[in-house]
Amino acid sequence: MRTNEISFRIRYSETDQMGVVYHGNYAQYLELARVEWLRSLGISYKSMEEGGIMLPVISLSIKYLKPALYDDLITVKVILTKKPAVRIEFDYEILNEAGDLLATANTVLVFMDMKRKRPTKCPQILLDKLKY
């Protein structure tokens, strides 16, 4: 499974006085989508960390097209762009309930050995789940 979607409602605390989602919250939405993508494969991020691997973000870009508003039901679609190696890259689409594209985004993360504090290869368990 190389794509996954998660839907949720925008909370009041995520918006400004105009009821528009504050731009900085989008990074959290992308993280939520990535963690759930991993979980959909039967792997939790927590278990990866317990196994000594963390995934820091090394690149993030977001293109805002339309505002997300308070109480909107939004869907974040996450797409794995290519076979992970030392890095893993995702594209995203954020849509509202009407299907309007609100934002597109891209993140690059690196698999990091927590003990050595050095980049490392993608865990084989993840490659096996992706059928690479």
Count: domains in the chain:
1
Q: For 29-69, what is each residue's pLDDT tens digit?
A: 999 999 999 999 999 999 999 999 999 999 999 999 999 99
Rounded percentage of the chain residues whose pLDDT exceeds 70: 98
The three-point CA angle 42-73-89 to 5° equals 45
Q: What is the CATH number of the domain that holds 114?
A: 3.10.129.10
**Structural domain of 77:** 3-130
Spatial distance between the Cα atoms of 20 and 10, rounded to a whole number of angstroms: 9
CA nearest neighbour of 68 among 6, 13, 14? 14
Spatial distance between the Cα atoms of 5 and 130, rounded to a whole number of angstroms: 17
Residue 91: pLDDT band with limits 50, 70, 90: very high
Residue 1: pLDDT band with limits 50, 70, 90: low
Spatial distance between the Cα atoms of 89 and 104, rounded to a whole number of angstroms: 14
Note the pLDDT of residue 57.
Answer: 98
**Residue 95 above 80 pLDDT?**
yes
Strand partners, 131: none
Note the pLDDT of residue 132.
Answer: 64
**Residue 24 above 80 pLDDT?**
yes
* Other CB atoms within 10 A of residue 76 CB: 25
Contact between 93 and 58 under an 8 Å Cβ cutoff? The reply is no
